[in-house]
Structure 1
Amino acid sequence: MVKSLNNKTRVAIRILLVLLTGALTLQFTKLSLPALTLKKNAHIVLIGNNLGSRMMNYGSFETELQLRYPDLNLFIRNMCDGGNTPGFRPHASRVSPWAFPGAEKFQTELANPSDSQGFFETEDQWLTRLRADIIIAFFGYNESFSGPKGLENYKSELDAFIKHTLKQKYNGISSPQLVIVSPIAFEDLSDRFDLPNGKVENLNLSLYSEAMKQVAERNNVLFTDTYSATKKWFETSEKPLTIDGSQLTEEGYTRFATLLTDLIFGPSKPKTEVNRKLVQSAVLEKNWMWHNDFKIPNGVHAYGRRYDPFGPDNYPAEIAKLRELAQIRDTAIWMAANGKQMDLVAADKNTTPIPPVKTNYTPAPSENLEYLSGQEAISKFKMADGFKIDLFASELEFPDLAKPCQIGFDTKGRLWVATMPSYPHYKPGDQKPNDKLIILEDTDNDGKADKQTIFADGLHLPIGFEVTAEGVYLSQGTNFVLLKDTDGDGKADTKEILLSGFDDHDTHHNIHAFTADPSGAIYMGEGVFLHTSVETSYGPVRGTNGGFYRYNPRRKHLERTAQPYVPNPWGIAFDDWGQNFYAETSSPDVRWMMPVTVKSRYGDTTEVSRDLLQPEHRVRPTSGLEFVSSGHFPDNLQGDFLINNTIGFLGTKEHTLKDDGTGYISRHRQDLLVSTDKNFRPVDMEFAPDGSLYVADWHNLLEALWVSWGLNEVDEQLLQQLLKAKDYHARAAAVRVLR
């Protein structure tokens, strides 16, 4: 009978046999890669992109693991960062961005040198330091924007990463267990926001997820398909599970934590569900300490360009203490999983004290160390003819006003002030930073503030903000957030992390100088030495070494709108025609931005337009830029621009601006205000709705005392004088010496 089969039948049998063989192979593959088995004291490390990085903000995945395995004392760290790929993981203080040897061959534009400098440890060195037993890798989202054309290259990059990783013995004994996690699906929110509908995005994400599965199975590595599961969620959920189609909400991450834990370690129920809130709180506390280690704010002093000559004295002890604090919090998590709460204050007292750092600051004999009261300081101003200056608010009446860095007004005429007494960064062992965004009001119309509302506290270095109808956009380290007051009590009660991945490796260069353009989009400046990689619903946005971003709230769209060489762009302003200009504090320069708003290659900068300031009136540093458009100013001054100066010349200069062919030309008109008080530091200015000009005074004599600026001998007499000073600024500067 078999001999009588015709050719078509034989072909059909061959095809059937092939299909059956394939099915058996797939079944065998699944059986050969069961869920991972956890051992006591296992070290689990997450690496990869923004999907994993944002998990740090919610703690739901680690909480789920600790509740399911409360007796295993799991050690978990998150090394993910926005924009990372299997081979490309840049850092501002690491010369090479490559995660393993040969990774550069999979990149084209990203292989362009970005001028990163320093000795921050490599990915392999960190994984060895953490003694990784299990590595969970999140990749595929950024790469999917290369579409079908980039698929084979991505498969090769992922394959090379897997092979490299499996050859390592990070724990000193054996190769790590590796898990490859697919990207999630794209949620269609186009009926709510002006966002992509996800059709094209999901086609690419599906392609890349399937490719990841193939590469993982070929290397006998566990693959978890979160794309298919989340696609079903998004099709059936009654409310959005992402904020913009691509980034999960807090509820989305809660569901994702259960899904991921089931896929990697097998389905099971938490053994101590009753302790969930206690565990999650402990996890977030540990994550905060870990973030300050692995993504150390102001790390340029600890590892990068500013390391020499004072980094070796100032930072090793702080980093060591951070790691002690994180280790204590690991124990707190394990206790919480079993229903016990640790006394962190008592435990932290047993950590190694940070030795004092010396300063070599010695004041000149003629130097006045006295801080003047607000009214006394007013008497030191010399104003241009026809102008006067008054005191609106000071620290005497409002102690929370210490170290104002940006000001703005809302439509009610209230003055908003961002303050940051924690600048330049958190000192390990101290209480957590409590910087604030405050609102000052003049309720009796006497020209002075008499009411303060704390809109938000518990912040850390809020160096940029913009008040809008939908809420307040705010800079918070690596995150760009939106704060809302939903019940009308004047205080923020919701916080949404809109974008992550901004670099704060040099904290005073972090995104700042927020300014709305005529369309309502928000411009932000970013200083030199930083390497930012932000994942958006439109693809990754990367920037290096200074430049500007533009965020469109309606589209939830971020773009690198200009990347000129600009060390410190602490001022952005628009004239009456909507033309944008920026101040660059280090030179100092004021330039027209539009000619440099071109897309440059990663690591490159564009040419700059001409400097508008006359050489004899270029005084550094500058902070704050405004165009005159106010009935309080004479007609002939309308359209002039104002710029603050904070060292040397202490005041605000006014310059004309006129068309000059295809550009502009400027001339110094007058010094609008200047102070003989050596402590005057004008850092921002803003026109109020009534047309009056407000100037924020940082008012700090001894920035030079701060260890971050690298001075290393103590003048005991000066130090004691400052510690006993009535003014907060002086005491804060002195305390910095004692770090």
Structure 2
Amino acid sequence: MRTYFIIITLFLAHSSKADEFNEYGLYSNKSASPQETAPVKTTLPLKIAKESKIAYIGNTLLDRAQHFGHFESFLQRRLPDHKLVIRNFSWSADEVDIQPRPDNFATTDQHLLYHKTDIIFAAFGFNESFSGKEKIPEFKSRLSKFINHTKTRAYNGKKGPKIILISPTPNQNLKHIPAADLNNERLLLFTQAMREVANAEEIGFVDVFSAPYPERSTINGVHLNDEGYRAFGSALFKGIFNESPEPVNEELRLAVVEKNKQFFRRYRPLNTFYYTGGRKGRYGYLDFLPAMKNFEIMASNRDNAIWSIAKGEELKIKIDDSNVPDLPETTQSRGGNKWMSADDELKSFTIDPRFKVNCFASEEDFPDIACPIQIRWDSKGRLWVACSTTYPHVYPGQEPNDKIVILEDTNGDGKADKSSVWADDLHIPLSFEFGNGGVYVSEEPDFTFLKDTDGDGKADFRSRVLTGFGCEDSHHALHDFVWTPDGKLLFRDSIFLNSQIETPYGPIRVKNSGWFLFEPRTQKLQTFGSYPNTNPWGVTFDKWGHHVASHPIFASTFHATNPPYPTQHPRPSGMQAYSGTCGQEFVDWDSFPEEMQGGFVKVRYKPTNRVEFHRWIKSGDHMQEKYESDIIFSKNLSFIPVDIRFGPKGALYICDWYNPIKGHAQYSLRDERRDKVSGRIWRITAKEKKLTAPIKIDNAPISQLLDNLKRKEYRIRYWTKQEIRKHPSTKVEQKLDQWLNNLNDKAPNFRHHQLEALWVYANIGIHKEDLVTELINCNVPEARAAAARQIRYWPKNMIDAAEKLIAKCSKDNDEIVKLEAAITCSWLGTQKSFNTLLELGGNDMGKHLNYAVTTALGSESIKQYWSEQDQAVKGILAQAKKRNQLNAGKTTRNASEANFDKQKGLKKINIKCIPERMLYDVTEFTVKANQPVKLVLSNPDLTMHNLVISKPGTLEIVGKAGNEMAKDVNGLKKNYIPKMSEVLWSTPQLKQNTSHTLRFNAPKEPGDYPYLCTFPGHWVIMKGVMRVK
């Protein structure tokens, strides 16, 4: 990567008063909106007054432009004395009237007013075009309405803005991505429609669709690369001024990019749910508003540098940030956990006597692995570690310097002895995975690809493959990168987030969590399984390709395509799903005890900190976990296991985000106690077992790699398929045909070997109808289910065969096969697949199959075939609703309780836990002294909660005591309720869709009696007060 050095004067210390910052908070429910005014006609060539405020709005075309800076550089170079202030408010996949934003985030109107905008450049039309050419009249109406509104708003406080509408750019055909063939005819029609509307509304219009572009000007057929943006900037400039731009000093362009970067952090900061949204009340003021002020100052300082270079006064970028004040100190609401050295931490572990644990690597020997998040083994047997000291937020004066570090054990003693930094300028890499000769990495809001092109062991190529993923909570953002068995990259985001991503095949939008599938070969992004969830980290697949996660455990049930945006599928009931875990790894290595084979190991970081072993058991229409024991239990809550992987010899490795501060909502994002130094990798081996000899994968011939697929170890097969993807598809297909034909049909794992072949074919883009048909007709139900799953990806020219096979699977005698059939119906999205769902839904079903049918019916692809009046569908949905009913506040259980409820003056209180929010729906109620109270707590949330009423002034005492119970291996059995005189009344920890009733007489002493959830960590925000009068 090219490195440019920017001279920045360090901040000087300033004192700040808290009331200085209110004006920097921009909220949709509070910030001012522009007044209506008479419109201003926009003519071209454009005349720009000195000190004009210019804004970019629109889709990814302008959003990505901020990283290249060509057009803005041309503009500043042409008008060096004008002191133009240019700010970018565009957003990936925006349309003229579809602009999802974080909760309570200020509208585009409000931002344009705050910026005092004089001129607007607006790029639209690309995403709208996917509605089809038959929707052009509707698009023109939508565009006219948008322009009429925008041109009649006095953003600068005086008059309406000048508006220049920008067309889409032309798409290009690339190998496996026929973007031009798919889109250009339609884009041309939408460009013509935009011209007509612009002329009618008397605003400027620039056709950049018809402009010349280099032969390879896009990264994916749609989104421009550097040369593409240079051509785009030149075409836009010429369309505005009727002249070509002058050459630009590279330092000017870099100064523009630097300014854009700092302003982006002001306009679109991470963690907006804590800035504008539902959790802004606790820390949002000091965590964000002083930073917003400083980012504005820094952007202005960079404006000065841009103007200086544009006028020729400076040849190098010189930025003076000495006027940027220090951020005020944050509040610290609670204590942190104890910090220990790696040796002392190891001593604090309670370890299963069958195992031994050693520290493979720590910050003491390898300081670059501070704050490790994810670990991955490569085919050479090296451990790659993604580390983030930037997490949880980027603040003024701070540049992300997160790393991917390679650790090696060169002498085989079980401890790392060599490290190297492969990438060191990353932005909170929550996840990464190898692919396409490089690494895909999460860098919210971007999905990035990195590569070492010169073989020096460091990444030197970077591309933002996709952008627009939600950032409302930086630890819920894009995570859990894993290759599916059939070669797609799977990942997800979580609650609070709004993601909208442009692709060559149309925009993808998801609200409040969803799964994504990415195919590098075609650059196709698909989404599915959007439903209300919490912190769902940790993903893997079992031997037969069942999708295993944490929220939910049997994630295969949740694969129906999404309902119409922005809705989600309904909240599930009675299914295993947990927050607080970060990874699973199946035990299939001979290096682990025989009695553990077939189960899996899970790492948990809350409420207790442990490494658990679970059984994996088939239960009718799903697989379920059964907790059996702990491999490691830690009383030291600074132990935060966040990832788990078997290594190439069969030792198990645990990634430990070692930190005394655990929690995103529970502490200030700027809490100085957040550890930025520590990080450990633990290695677990069985005492009575030998390690496995490593198998050849790196640079192995295709024939040997295919034989590796017969191995029982999932990770060996996983690494092998990664290596196979490096080979030309034609050679793989040839060798695979031979390998498949030579399989022994009498071998115990014959059907699984066939399935691995099916998955490898899918890896190279080949759909094998004959193999799928054979597997669907075999006597192994797991193979039948896996084969049915593959049908969802078949192209349209195979739809007839797909419908017939799925109809057959829907009548299978195995419930999981039926479940896969139901889900696949939503992917096919045809009338016949809808009919299959109706027939399937009319039968008795377990909860998982019931949920699969319900969500498939609710998917956008299937919903077009039925209405709310459809009796058959109504019957299926009514049955599903019945299964999910919440049985809260049941009738009394005995005579004593019945008599209590008959008392005169009984106060009835019903409190619900708000799903996924760690909040009660009632945070205050009032009773009279000694009044009889009947309080019903009901919990529809998948996370357990309780309610404890304590003496006045004891909220923090009881809450912290609950936290301490996380150190007790039996804490959950005790319901995390401290035995102390401060506790007056309490419910047990309630599982989802259960309730508990408290009956008591209110205290005789008036006062404010706090109530709280004592599940460790929840009490900080999950609390209320009972006022006794």
> For residues 208 and 269 of structure 1, do their structure 2 counterparts lie closer, same or farther at Cα, with a shift above 3 Å needed?
closer
Amino acid in structure 1 at the alignment position of 2:112: L
Q: Distance in 2 between matches of 1:280 and 1:727?
A: 35
Partner of 1:146: 131
Post-superposition CA distance 1:245-282 (Å, at most 9, x none): 11111111111111111111221442xx4x62111111
Q: Distance in 2 between matches of 1:195 and 1:255?
A: 22
Amino acid in structure 1 at the alignment position of 2:220: D
Q: Distance in 2 between matches of 1:49 and 1:711?
A: 33
The DSSP-based 3-state class of the residue aligned with 1:542 is strand
Which of the residues 429, 451, 458 maps onto 1:484?
Answer: 451
Post-superposition CA distance 1:565-594 (Å, at most 9, x none): 22222111111111112113xxxx523234
Post-superposition CA distance 1:630-683 (Å, at most 9, x none): 232234423322221113321111111122222123321221222233321101
Identity %: 35
Partner of 2:145: 160
Which of the residues 549, 553, 556 maps onto 2:523?
Answer: 556
> For residues 672 and 258 of structure 1, do their structure 2 counterparts lie closer, same or farther at Cα, with a shift above 3 Å needed?
same
Deviation at 1:727, TM superposition (A): 6.2
Partner of 2:472: 505
Alignment of 1:147-226 (within 5 A): 147-189=132-174, 192=175, 194-226=176-208
Residue 55 (structure 1) aligned with residue 31 (structure 2): no
Partner of 1:247: 223
Residue 287 (structure 1) aligned with residue 260 (structure 2): yes
Residue 266 (structure 1) aligned with residue 276 (structure 2): no
Partner of 2:86: 76
Post-superposition CA distance 1:134-178 (Å, at most 9, x none): 111100011111112211111000001111111112112222111
Amino acid in structure 1 at the alignment position of 2:146: F
Residue 44 (structure 1) aligned with residue 54 (structure 2): yes
Q: Distance in 2 between matches of 1:423 and 1:676?
A: 25
Partner of 1:709: 666
Residue 599 (structure 1) aligned with residue 562 (structure 2): yes
Which of the residues 618, 630, 654 maps onto 1:695?
Answer: 654
Partner of 2:967: none
Partner of 1:18: none
User: Scaled by the length of structure 1, what TM-score is found?
Assistant: 0.82
- Structure whose CA Rg is larger: 2
Q: Do 1:590 and 1:611's aligned partners in 2 also have CA atoms closer than 8 Å? A: no
Partner of 2:359: 391
Amino acid in structure 1 at the alignment position of 2:498: H
Deviation at 1:623, TM superposition (A): 1.4
Residue 685 (structure 1) aligned with residue 644 (structure 2): yes
User: Scaled by the length of structure 2, what TM-score is found?
Assistant: 0.60
> For residues 713 and 338 of structure 1, do their structure 2 counterparts lie closer, same or farther at Cα, with a shift above 3 Å needed?
closer
Q: Do 2:389 and 2:676's aligned partners in 1 also have CA atoms closer than 8 Å? A: no
Partner of 1:121: 106
Q: Which moved more, 1:407-416 or 1:332-341?
A: 332-341
Which of the residues 27, 31, 34 maps onto 2:44?
Answer: 34
Partner of 1:448: 415
Partner of 2:603: 644
> For residues 269 and 288 of structure 1, do their structure 2 counterparts lie closer, same or farther at Cα, with a shift above 3 Å needed?
closer
Partner of 2:373: 405
> For residues 544 and 248 of structure 1, do their structure 2 counterparts lie closer, same or farther at Cα, with a shift above 3 Å needed?
same
Q: Distance in 1 between matches of 2:136 and 2:585?
A: 48
Q: Distance in 2 between matches of 1:431 and 1:261?
A: 34
Deviation at 1:312, TM superposition (A): 2.6
Q: Which moved more, 1:384-393 or 1:144-153?
A: 384-393
Which of the residues 294, 303, 308 maps onto 1:321?
Answer: 294
Deviation at 1:466, TM superposition (A): 0.4
Amino acid in structure 2 at the alignment position of 1:529: F
Q: Distance in 1 between matches of 2:668 and 2:393?
A: 17
Q: Distance in 1 between matches of 2:542 and 2:400?
A: 37
Q: Distance in 2 between matches of 1:681 and 1:167?
A: 54
Q: Which moved more, 1:62-71 or 1:594-603?
A: 594-603
Partner of 2:589: 630
Q: Distance in 1 between matches of 2:546 and 2:515?
A: 15
Which of the residues 562, 567, 573 maps onto 2:534?
Answer: 567
Post-superposition CA distance 1:439-473 (Å, at most 9, x none): 11112222111111111112121101102242100
Q: Distance in 1 between matches of 2:676 and 2:670?
A: 24
Q: Distance in 1 between matches of 2:208 and 2:670?
A: 56
The DSSP-based 3-state class of the residue aligned with 2:121 is strand
Q: Do 1:421 and 1:435's aligned partners in 2 also have CA atoms closer than 8 Å? A: yes
Amino acid in structure 1 at the alignment position of 2:426: L
Unaligned runs of 5+ in 2: 1-40, 681-1029
The DSSP-based 3-state class of the residue aligned with 2:298 is helix
Q: Distance in 1 between matches of 2:106 and 2:444?
A: 21
The DSSP-based 3-state class of the residue aligned with 1:583 is coil
The DSSP-based 3-state class of the residue aligned with 1:169 is coil
Q: Distance in 2 between matches of 1:60 and 1:391?
A: 49
> For residues 41 and 203 of structure 1, do their structure 2 counterparts lie closer, same or farther at Cα, with a shift above 3 Å needed?
same
The DSSP-based 3-state class of the residue aligned with 2:548 is strand
Deviation at 1:305, TM superposition (A): 1.2
Q: Distance in 1 between matches of 2:596 and 2:484?
A: 22
Q: Distance in 1 between matches of 2:632 and 2:666?
A: 28
Q: Do 1:642 and 1:655's aligned partners in 2 also have CA atoms closer than 8 Å? A: yes
The DSSP-based 3-state class of the residue aligned with 1:207 is helix
Residue 357 (structure 1) aligned with residue 330 (structure 2): yes
Partner of 2:698: none
Deviation at 1:383, TM superposition (A): 2.6
Post-superposition CA distance 1:311-342 (Å, at most 9, x none): 23432211111111111111111112133459
> For residues 660 and 361 of structure 1, do their structure 2 counterparts lie closer, same or farther at Cα, with a shift above 3 Å needed?
closer
Partner of 2:634: 675
The DSSP-based 3-state class of the residue aligned with 1:694 is strand
> For residues 727 and 205 of structure 1, do their structure 2 counterparts lie closer, same or farther at Cα, with a shift above 3 Å needed?
closer
| Greater RCO (CA < 8 Å, at least 6 residues apart) | 1
Q: Distance in 1 between matches of 2:340 and 2:186?
A: 63
> For residues 552 and 636 of structure 1, do their structure 2 counterparts lie closer, same or farther at Cα, with a shift above 3 Å needed?
farther
Q: Do 2:403 and 2:426's aligned partners in 1 also have CA atoms closer than 8 Å? A: yes
Partner of 2:760: none
Partner of 1:227: 209
Q: Do 2:374 and 2:386's aligned partners in 1 also have CA atoms closer than 8 Å? A: yes
Post-superposition CA distance 1:91-119 (Å, at most 9, x none): 012xxxxxxxxxxxxxxxxxxxxxxxx2x
Residue 421 (structure 1) aligned with residue 421 (structure 2): no
Partner of 1:24: none
Deviation at 1:625, TM superposition (A): 2.2
Q: Do 2:238 and 2:245's aligned partners in 1 also have CA atoms closer than 8 Å? A: no
Q: Distance in 1 between matches of 2:315 and 2:385?
A: 37
> For residues 476 and 362 of structure 1, do their structure 2 counterparts lie closer, same or farther at Cα, with a shift above 3 Å needed?
closer
> For residues 320 and 198 of structure 1, do their structure 2 counterparts lie closer, same or farther at Cα, with a shift above 3 Å needed?
same
Partner of 1:654: 613
Q: Distance in 1 between matches of 2:383 and 2:597?
A: 23
Residue 494 (structure 1) aligned with residue 479 (structure 2): no
Amino acid in structure 2 at the alignment position of 1:559: Q
Q: Do 2:610 and 2:630's aligned partners in 1 also have CA atoms closer than 8 Å? A: yes
Which of the residues 222, 232, 256 maps onto 2:232?
Answer: 256
Q: Distance in 2 between matches of 1:611 and 1:511?
A: 27
Unaligned runs of 5+ in 1: 1-30, 94-117, 731-739
> For residues 195 and 638 of structure 1, do their structure 2 counterparts lie closer, same or farther at Cα, with a shift above 3 Å needed?
farther
Q: Which moved more, 1:49-58 or 1:632-641?
A: 632-641
Amino acid in structure 1 at the alignment position of 2:321: D
Partner of 1:463: 430
Give the number of equivalent residue pairs. Answer: 640
Post-superposition CA distance 1:30-77 (Å, at most 9, x none): x99431012211111110001111101111111121122222211111
Q: Do 1:564 and 1:596's aligned partners in 2 also have CA atoms closer than 8 Å? A: no
Post-superposition CA distance 1:599-640 (Å, at most 9, x none): 212122224667665xxxx98521122222323223442332
Q: Distance in 1 between matches of 2:97 and 2:232?
A: 25
Q: Distance in 2 between matches of 1:129 and 1:264?
A: 26
Amino acid in structure 1 at the alignment position of 2:290: A
